[in-house]
């Protein structure tokens, strides 16, 4: 089942919203894959730039800088 656009309640942060990639979803096989070649994926990873932080000062900036990933408990290292 190819999906060409996200559902209306999806929060997507695409750099290039005009790009239409084909995604294969197969629930019975627990499969979710983007139909791109390894070369295309490598090219996109190389061109990816980290977004600017939402907060540059204050408590939220400190938390964003010091907190670990959510799957690690999001605890601060300070």
- Distance of alpha carbon 43 from the chain centroid: 16
What are the structure tokens assigned to 45, written together?
Answer: 């990873």
56 and 40 in a common domain: no
Taking 90 as the threshold, does the pLDDT of residue 42 lie above it?
yes
- Distance of alpha carbon 57 from the chain centroid: 24
67 and 35 in a common domain: no
Comparison of pLDDT for 20 and 44, the residue scoring more: 44
What are the structure tokens assigned to 42, written together?
Answer: 């490598």
- Mean pLDDT for the stretch of residues 52-73: 84
Q: For 38, phi and psi rounded to 5 degrees?
A: -60, -35
41 and 58 in a common domain: no
Range with lowest mean pLDDT among 6-15, 21-30, 46-55: 6-15
User: SS3 of 26, please?
Assistant: strand
Structural domain that includes position 73? 52-78
Comparison of pLDDT for 50 and 78, the residue scoring more: 50
Domain count, the chain: 2
- Mean pLDDT for the stretch of residues 40-57: 88
């Amino acid at each position: 089942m190819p999906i060409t656009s996200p559902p209306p309640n999806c929060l997507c942060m695409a750099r290039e919203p005009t790009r239409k990639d084909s995604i294969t979803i197969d629930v019975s096989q627990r499969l979710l894959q983007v139909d791109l070649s390894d070369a295309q994926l490598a090219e996109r990873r190389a061109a990816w730039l980290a977004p600017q932080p939402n907060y540059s000062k204050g408590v939220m900036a400190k938390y964003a800088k010091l907190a670990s990933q959510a799957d690690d408990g999001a605890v601060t290292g300070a």
